[in-house]
Amino acid sequence: MRIAMIGQKGIPAAAGGVERHVEELSKQLAQNGHEVLVYARRWYGQEKNSTDFVASNLSKNIQIIYTPSLHTKNLDAITHTITATIHALTQKIDVIHFHGVGPALLSWLPRLLAPRVRVIATFHSMDRYQYKWGKIAKWFLSMGEIFICRWPHATITVSRGLYHYCLNQYQKITICIPSGVPIWDGKKYPEKLSNYNLTPEKYLLTVARIIRGKGIHHLISAWKTLRARAPQIIEGYKLAIVGDGEEAYMDELFELSGSDSDIIFTGDQYGENLQTLFTNAKLFIHPSENEGLPLAVLEAMSFGLPVVVSDIPGHREIVPDNQFWFDTANADSLTERLKEILPQTELLKKTGEQNRALVMEKYSWRDIALQVEQVYQSNEKNKKIE
């Protein structure tokens, strides 16, 4: 099959769960003999200065196609979806796969203009709840939820929470297929930690796109409160914050951190550097306020880390032990959770091993790609409950 991926910023993924999802899925599909066209925003890739539609090959069966967009906060995604969809319709495509509720606003177009093309969409998260969107954008994202449940031949949800949301909100039966994570190769690279002034097993870690909805300000507040209330628990530890994002929010986090030299901002990290940070951490913390299925948490679990998470549905689905939950958007609750579990060395070790086993069993990209292939090949249409 020839498959077009539309909605992601592009690949190789610099950051972002959707981008990593599309990259890993595309690699698996390519290994299975399919040809994958991944549409990328021109500013995201090496072809940012080009004026025409251009393409480059990531591998034998993966082609990255750069199309233009209006690179503004509110128009970037939808204008790129328009140019990508129009271009895909000029190709001999078997499947067009939209990623996200915003891009799904265009899912009706190939249904009308190319009826032989199978249209699939993946509902990754309820984007309208993100802080960055204004009222008009949130309205369009709400419409995107309706479209993603109405127009594609089949809609994939990445978590049980989103499956039930679509069922209850839109009376739509979707296909629940989670995101996956690559399997860790066992290398730790502890010598690289000196680049960040960190020591193995002596730091707590979070990895995220740094936007307000990820709740990093709650984490910093909890860290500072824990240091004030029970300094012996985190004596000798540091807090590593990996990622980059909105400038104004980053400035707010720097100000909140104050003069605490044990809070380390590493910026975006990739490849061996990111693997180093995951594999040598003591604990992973994800304070996000809204997630579909959080890839950063699954990645941490794949490296054998215990994880402490806010008690949103997307977290509770993959972290079953409520000992590792704290109240969402509540820094005091996170403080108390860390105070309780950090001294429990055996619990942390056992939980990390269980997390890795769980990911290997349920979140293998090889198995997930086969499930997605079945959706591509099925003739069954999206179901609506009457």
At residue 51, does pLDDT exceed 60?
no
Instruction: Look at residue 311 in the predicted model and tell me its pLDDT.
Output: 96
Instruction: Look at residue 60 in the predicted model and tell me its pLDDT.
Output: 82
Q: What is the mean pLDDT of residues 335-356?
A: 96
At residue 55, does pLDDT exceed 80?
no
Rg (CA), the chain: 21
Q: How many Å apart are CA 47 and CA 81, to the nearest integer?
A: 17
Q: What is the pLDDT of residues 248-260, one digit of tens each?
A: 999 999 999 998 9
At residue 378, does pLDDT exceed 90?
no
Instruction: Look at residue 385 in the predicted model and tell me its pLDDT.
Output: 47
Residue 236 C-alpha from the chain's centroid: 31
Q: Which two tokens stand for residue 304?
A: 């054998």
The domain defined by 2-180+364-384 carries CATH number 3.30.70.2860: no
At residue 47, does pLDDT exceed 80?
no
At residue 17, does pLDDT exceed 60?
yes
- DSSP-derived secondary structure for 305-340: --EEEE--HHHHHH---GGGEE-TT-HHHHHHHHHH
- How confident is residue 14, by pLDDT bands cut at 50, 70 and 90? confident
Q: What is the pLDDT of residues 30-41, one digit of tens each?
A: 999 999 999 999
Of 76, 72, 143, which Cα lies nearest the Cα of 108? 143
The domain defined by 190-362 carries CATH number 3.40.50.2000: yes
Q: How many Å apart are CA 100 and CA 86, to the nearest integer?
A: 18
- How confident is residue 140, by pLDDT bands cut at 50, 70 and 90? confident
Q: What is the pLDDT of residues 96-122, one digit of tens each?
A: 999 999 999 999 999 999 999 999 999
For residue 49, the SS3 value is coil
> What are the extents of the domains in the chain?
2-180+364-384, 190-362
Query: In whole numbers, what is the pLDDT of the chain averaged over residues?
Result: 91
> What percentage of the chain has pLDDT greater than the value 70?
94
Q: Which residues pair with 325 in a beta bridge?
A: 309
Alpha-helical runs (H) found in the chain? 17-31, 76-88, 108-113, 135-150, 160-170, 216-229, 247-257, 271-279, 295-302, 313-318, 331-341, 345-362, 365-377
Q: What is the pLDDT of residues 192-251, one digit of tens each?
A: 999 999 999 999 999 998 999 999 999 999 999 999 999 999 999 999 999 998 899 999
Instruction: Look at residue 125 in the predicted model and tell me its pLDDT.
Output: 86
- Low-confidence winner among 77-86, 229-238, 267-276, 376-385 (lowest mean pLDDT): 376-385
- How confident is residue 134, by pLDDT bands cut at 50, 70 and 90? confident
At residue 319, does pLDDT exceed 50?
yes
Instruction: Look at residue 270 in the predicted model and tell me its pLDDT.
Output: 86
